[in-house]
Amino acid sequence: MIPNFAMLGSGPTVLMLHDADTDHLGFAPQVELLASQGYRAIAWDMPGYHANPPPYGGYSLKALPPRRMACSKR
């Protein structure tokens, strides 16, 4: 499953991770600014937040990389 995310720009990738109180939409100003400065900005919803289901197998560092890679390859 591909998580909810926002991506804008091209160049070196900057991945933004939210805290427990927000989602990827909270990074809208930063995504626009970074994209205007020559970066590919990606803000994604962590598994279990917003409309994303929790990761299969529970929360662990092992479960997160495949979800993050799904949005950065688009």
> Which pLDDT band holds residue 32 (cuts at 50, 70, 90)?
very high
> Which pLDDT band holds residue 22 (cuts at 50, 70, 90)?
confident
pLDDT at residue 45 in the model: 79
Model pLDDT for residues 39-67, shown as the tens digit of each residue: 999 988 777 777 677 766 666 666 666 55
Helix (H) or strand (E) holding 35: helix 28-36
Residue 24 to residue 9: CA distance in whole angstroms: 16
Give pTM, 2 decimals: 0.66
Average pLDDT, the chain: 77
Q: Comparing 12-16, 41-45, 66-70, which segment has the lowest mean pLDDT?
A: 66-70
